[in-house]
Amino acid sequence: MATVAIQPCSSWTRGSIPITKPIQRRRFRARPKLTRLKLVAAVVEATPSTTVPSIRNGTNPVLTLPFNRADDLQAEARAMGRAVNATLYSPELLASKYGSQPIKVVQRALEIVSSLGSFGLKLFLEQKNGMLEKNKRARATELKTIFTQLGPTFVKLGQGLSTRPDICPPEYLEELSELQDGLPTFPDDEAFACIERELGVSLDSIFSSISPSPIAAASLGQVYKARLKYSGKLVAIKVQRPSIEEAIGLDFYLIRGLGFFINKYVDIITTDVVALIDEFARRVFQELNYVQEGQNARRFKKLYADRPDICVPDIFWDYTSAKVLAMDWVEGVKLSEQEAIERQGLNVLDLVNTGIQCSLRQLLEYGYFHADPHPGNLLATPDGRLAFLDFGMMSETPEDARSAIIGHVVHLVNRDYEAMARDYYALDFLSPDVDVSPIVPALRDFFDDALNYTVSELNFKTLVDGLGNVLYQFPFNVPAYYALILRSLTVLEGLALNADPNFKVLAASYPYFAKRLLTDPNPYLRDALIELLFKDEKFRWSRLEDLLIQGRMDSDFSAKEALQPVVKVLLSPDGEVIRTLVIKEAVRVSEAFTLSSISDTYKSVPDFMRTLVFNGNANSPLMMSESEMQSMIELRNQVVRIWGLLQSSNDFDPALLLPIFQILQQPEVRRLGGGVMDGITQRFLARFLQQVLRVPATASA
């Protein structure tokens, strides 16, 4: 079984290295011993004496683990104190700093220009010769190699571009999404010295052993596997690459200058490139603060690790600073290593489905999500859980956008492309002054073809690529949160397709959307549900049945919650239109039950009695065509099936209907009931007159 460490970045160079080298073989200069003793004294002073065992081992101080929430908060506060001088991104400070270092700036600029200049020249010549489209894949692969050679900043930039369909064509998105850091590790002596310098204590006072070489390495840091001396617990120690702030700061200073040039002179890119660079740079600089990453991990764990199939490592704050991060060691296998996962007796598709459901919760429930969608950040643990790693880059979905995304799915299902185009305002894809009318035909051309497939057949990557092509042609600005979550789901589908070519991430996602539509009381989603269920003033029972079937597949589905939004919509002050539609539908359902029951009874009567009882008509007791009667029977059967679906839910209880009976005295409901009875009376009177007078039924009747 492969062993994978906690990973600080999106991609790693790995090796399974046992922890066999004791700390005593390596000694490094750290801060003076007095400083270390002051730190330990602060730990002792802040911790109740009744909970602290001996903190000495020979002559070396040993940091202790917190025993409760209060201790944990104190340890976190101390870690924040150690990170108080962590570097923050500021364009103004970078301009001030590097504006006075022209030689360094020119040297790095020449290095970048020499690497990218030939690439740009090739693009220019190919465009001039009409070969640009033909060689697009080759150029995308070349750009991936160049970014790797230029170092950490460009590796991160390439990974960021891989989530931006509004900037890059699909071929570039695909190649850059496979970007591997491929950077050499930095010397172990420097890493161990950094740990001692950041924590203010010697290594042998903290660890009983540590791997002599990094288990994993990436652009911003590398990871060691260690055992805590105090508790014997295995931890992953992530150490930041030396002088990384300097290298990244200089690169972003230069890239930002290029962004101003692009904004001014490159018309085909309509997005504000400088704003994108600033946003991305802020995220990268946040990733350099490991205390912030620890806080991200804690928040993520609180929101999503309530599920037994999700694993998020704990943070050890006493061993964490701006450049050193200690967290639980997670034994597991990368989600992309199918054979290794299957050797553990696990199913890759089960793990992928867990990832999909968790991603949907991140996007659409709490809005706080993992912003580094890479297979190496997902591990399959031996006990079958999905472990999330690397919390340096996180993002949030605005609250309004969460509901708008679900509404967008409803409009897609209904093929309402005008509404889909308008959704892009709410999703911040388009500014309010952009005319969406030219976009509608492009959406129709693509999705009419794509939606010929069923939900279970539709490939998510095809949808994303097609939508990317649409976005690329128009003045879209894809918000970072939306691009990242699309990328995340695409990665998960890719992992699943390796295990099962017939797997479709949309089919796995549909139960979650169905559950949210049926149970969420959010007014926007209630409107979306009504839009989905009513068409041409008729209720689409087949849609409701399908939603219930799919929604019940979600582990959080509740029949109780599914009833409450319906009642709220029906009785809301602005629900007059819906009440009118419900009256019509209740009349239709009542008629269907009555007439189909009459038809069933009639069919059970012997033929000779039908002729006597029904005035010589041995075929039917009603003036109805066979197709109309079949429609009535099907409607009745659908309603019965839907009621059965509700009854079979785990939390269904007839008492759930009591609130409905309690509100029957409200004026709106009495009027609703009266309308239903009037409608039923009129329909049956018309049927009776047709039967007596033998008048053929008309469409209006």
Q: Annotated active-site positions, please?
A: 372
Sequence-ordered alpha helix ranges (H) in 572-616: 576-604, 607-613
Burial class (CB in 10 A: 0-12, 13-18, 19+), 409: buried
- 3-state SS of 327-365 is EECCCCEECCCHHHHHHCCCCHHHHHHHHHHHHHHHHHH
Assign 149 to helix, strand or coil. helix
Count other Cβ atoms within 10 Å, centred on residue 670. 11
Calpha distance 624→478 (Å, rounded)? 55
Sign of CA dihedral 366, 524, 451, 508: positive
User: Could you tell me which residues are beta bridge partners of residue 223?
Assistant: 216, 238
Strands 534-535 and 378-380: unpaired
Calpha distance 37→270 (Å, rounded)? 57
Residues 6+ positions from 259 with CB-CB distance below 8 Å: 273, 274, 276, 277
Whole-number CA gyration radius for the chain: 32
Strands 234-240 and 216-217: unpaired
Token representation of residue 354: 């867990």
In degrees and rounded to multiples of 5, residue 2 shows phi and psi of -70, 145
Count other Cβ atoms within 10 Å, centred on residue 482. 19
Q: Residue 6 to residues 9, 222, 328, 358, 636: CA-CA distances in angstroms? A: 9, 10, 8, 19, 56
Calpha distance 590→443 (Å, rounded)? 40
Sequence-ordered alpha helix ranges (H) in 200-337: 244-265, 273-287, 290-304
Strands 386-388 and 310-311: parallel
Calpha distance 5→11 (Å, rounded)? 12
Residue 468 Cα to chain centre, angstroms: 18
Q: 562, 550 in Cβ contact below 8 A?
A: no
Whose structure tokens read 């991609």?
11
**For the packed helices 102-128 and 244-265, what is the interaxial angle rounded to 10 degrees?**
50
Assign 369 to helix, strand or coil. strand
Q: Residue 534 to residues 246, 414, 525, 542: CA-CA distances in angstroms? A: 59, 11, 14, 11
Token representation of residue 177: 């999404």
Count other Cβ atoms within 10 Å, centred on residue 278. 17
Q: What b-and-e string marks burial along 168-192, b requiring 16 or more CB atoms within 10 Å of the CB? A: bbbbbbbbbbebbbebeebebeebb
Cα–Cα–Cα angle for 271, 276, 278, nearest 5°? Answer: 145
Calpha distance 229→20 (Å, rounded)? 14
In degrees and rounded to multiples of 5, residue 179 shows phi and psi of -60, 125
Q: What b-and-e string marks burial along 74-83, b requiring 16 or more CB atoms within 10 Å of the CB? A: bbbebbbebb
